[in-house]
Structure 1
C-alpha cells in the first residue's frame, strides 16, 4: 500500500519491536532424558507464569499465594540456563519423616495386643501414626498444585533434575508490545491519507485488490473504518434511499395539491437536474465524492423549488380566471 500512487502516509498501529526469548526444545533429547513437554511447560510456568499454589484465608478476606522466580532474575534471559526440570513431575513419591508440620500430635503407645510385647506394640503404633500423618501432610501440601512441575516440599525422595539447557537452546526474537482488539477480535489498523486528486472511490478498490494479492486466509478479514466506512455505507444504501425519497416527496406533494399529476410534473425536473450535474462533473473532470453528492442534492432541491413555484403560480392563475 505504501507504493500505491493514490495513497499517502500509510502507517500501522502494529508494534513488532518487542524483545522475547524463543526456546526450541529438542524433543528427542528430552525423551531420552525421561521428560515430556507437559513437564517442561509446567517448569516454565512455575518460574514465570505466576502459578497460584495456595490460598490463605483470614477472617474477612482471602489471599492467593503465587509461585514465581524472583523478579530481579526476569531481566536477563540467562536465567533459563539455571532452570532445572524434574523428571518426576508429579506428587511426592516418598514418605516425609523429617519435615512434620507444626501442630502435629505425637502418638503414644497404645494397649499391647494379646500375645505381643509392649515394645513391639509401641513401635507398630508409631509407624502407623507416622504414615497416616505424612500422607495427610503431603495431601495438604499438594492442594491446588496438581499442575506444578515438582511435588511437595516435604518429600524426602531425591528426584532427578535435568538442566533446561541440556535439551533446548535459546534465541532472541521479536514480539508485539501490545495486542489491539476490535469487537473482541485481535485487530491491526492501517491508516492512510489520499494523494491530491484522489478520492475514496479510487482507494477502496486498491485496498481490496491488495487483500486478494496477499492471499489472506479465511480467518483474516479486512474492513473499512472511519470516513471510508461511512462512504461505503452511504453508497450501499444510496440505491434504496433515492427511490424512497422520491416516493416520500410524491406522497407529500400529492397530499398538498390533492392531485396525482402535479407531483409528477414537479418530479420530472429531477431528471434534467441530475443529467446537468453529471455533464458538469464530466466537463470539469471532477470526481463524484460525498461533497459532490451533497452539491447534486442541493441542485435538485433548488430545481424542485422552482418547479413548485411554477405550479403554484399556474394554479393561482387558473383560480382567478
Structure 2
C-alpha cells in the first residue's frame, strides 16, 4: 500500500503464492487496456531469505515438533529477551542469541544442535527429561534453501492481501476502469476463499453510487411530504414529482455526450436539477388549483395556467443556463469539478424542459381523476351499460313445428 494511485484494489486469500499467481494474471490482462497504465503490485519477492523445509516424519521420529524447531531457530537467529539489566537509572534488555559466525551462513545453521524428545522453548533446557535426551543436528531433518520472498506480508481483515495499483490514462473514466477490473476477475474465476476489495478512489466511487441511490430515495420521500403539506393533498404532489425521475436520463445522456465522469460534483448537479424541475411543477400545479378555486373547470384551468406560467419557467431556465455557461467553460484550480456540475444542469434542464411542461399537466389530469374516484365511476358505468345491453338484447327461441 502507500501509493497514491488512481486505481487500487486488494486481493485477499489464505495462500500467498496463489495470491501472487492471481495478481500476475490480473496485471497481465489489465496491461492490455490502454486506459490503465503503470499497473503494478505491492508484492515484490526481491528480499533474499533462507527457507526452512522440515521433514516432518524424521522430526517426529526424534520427538520434535514444528514449534520446537521454529522456536529454536527464532532464539538462535532472531534472539529473545530473557531478562533485564539495570545500571543506575538506565535499564537494558538481556538478549539470548547465537554468535554471528554460528548463524550467518547456511552451513552454520545446519550444524545447530536441537535436544531431541523435548517440548521446551529452548534447546538447552535443564529439566530432568531434557538432561537425559540426546542432541540432534538440525541438518538431519531440515533442508535449507535460498530463495527470495516479500519484504513484508500485509493483512486485511485477518487475511493475507496483495494490493494491485494503476493509473488512468488522460480522459479514461474511473468507472470504466472499475468495470474492466470486474470483467478480468470474472475471466480468472477466483475461488470462493479469494475476494477483491476496492480501495482509494475506486472504493469512493462505489460508495458514491450506493449513497446516491439512498439520497435520491430519501429526497423523493421528503419532497413528497413537504408538497403534501403545502398543497394539503396526497395526489397532487405525485403529479409534480413524476417529472423528477424523467430528468435523470437526460442528465446522464448529457454526461455521456460530453464524456463527463459521474463524480461527486455531477451528483450535486443532479440534485440541483431535481429541485429546478420540481419548482417548475409547483408553478404549474399551484396556479391551476388557484384558477379552479375561482370557478374554472379543470381543462380550462390547466390550459390557462400553463400558458401563464410558461414565461416565468422559460425565463428561469434561460437565466440558469446562461449563468452556468461560464462555470462550464471556466479554467483554473477546481474548475473540473464545477464544470461537471454545470454541464449536468445545462444539458439536463434544456433537454427535459419540454417533456416536463407536457408531463406535469397530463399527470395532474390523470391523478386528479384517480383522486376523485372517477376511474372507478367510469368503470362502474361501463359495467352497467354492458349489463343493460345484455339484458335488453333479443333472445331467439327455436320453436318446434310438427
TM-score by length of 1: 0.62
Alpha-carbon distance in structure 2 between the residues aligned to 1:43 and 1:289: 58
Question: Hey, what does 1:244 align to over in structure 2?
Answer: 218
Verify the 8 A CA contact 2:76 2:103 in the aligned structure 1.
no
Taking the aligned partners of 2:238 and 2:132, their CA distance within structure 1 comes to 98
Residue 16 of structure 1 pairs with residue 45 of structure 2? yes
Contact 1:84 1:161 (8 Å CA) reproduced: yes
**Aligned residues of 1:87 and 1:162 also touching (Cα < 8 A):** yes
Q: Does 1:80 align with 2:109?
A: yes
Match of 1:179, SS?
A: coil
Question: Quick check: 1:147 aligned with 2:135?
Answer: no
- What 5-or-longer segments of structure 2 have no aligned partner? 1-26, 296-402
**2:103/2:109 contact within 8 Å kept:** no
Whether 1:308 aligns to 2:282 is yes
**Map 1:259-278 → 2, pairs under 5 A:** 259-278=233-252
Shift of the 217–68 alpha-carbon distance from structure 1 to 2, 3 Å rule, reads farther
Asked if 2 retains the 8 angstrom alpha-carbon contact of 1:82 and 1:163, the reply is yes
Q: Is the 8 A contact 1:56 1:63 kept in 2?
A: yes
- 1:70 and 2:43 correspond: no
Larger Rg, first or second structure (1 or 2): 1
DSSP 3-state at the match of 2:45 = coil
Calculate the aligned-residue CA RMSD, in Å: 4.3
More helix by share: 2
Classify 1:63/1:189 alpha carbon distance in 2 versus 1 (closer, same or farther; 3 Å): same
Match of 1:228 in 2: 202
Cα distance change of structure 1 residues 86 and 270 upon mapping to structure 2, 3 Å threshold = closer
Matched, 1:195 2:223: no
CA distance in 1, matches of 2:175, 2:199: 14
- Larger RCO (alpha carbons 8 Å, 6+ apart): 1
Distance 2:117 2:84 in 1: 25
Q: Which portions of structure 1, spanning 4 or more consecutive aligned residues, are displaced by more than 6 angstroms? A: 28-32, 54-57, 315-321
- Residue 26 to residue 187, structure 1, CA distance change in 2 (3 Å): closer
Could you tell me which runs of 5 or more consecutive residues in structure 1 were left unpaired when the two chains were aligned: 91-145
Say if 2:24 is the partner of 1:3. Answer: no
Q: Is the 8 A contact 2:85 2:92 kept in 1?
A: yes
TM-score, structure 2 normalization:
0.51
Q: Deviations over 1:287-315 (max 9, x none)?
A: 66235444333323222223334455666
* Cα offset, 1:225, TM superposition: 1.8
CA positional deviation for 1:228? 1.7
Please tell me whether the aligned partners of residues 63 and 116 of structure 2 are also in contact (alpha carbons under 8 angstroms): yes
Task: Report the alpha carbon displacement of residue 20 of structure 1 after superposing the two structures with TM.
Answer: 0.8
Note the C-alpha offset of 1:171: 2.0
Contact 1:14 1:176 in 2 (8 A): yes
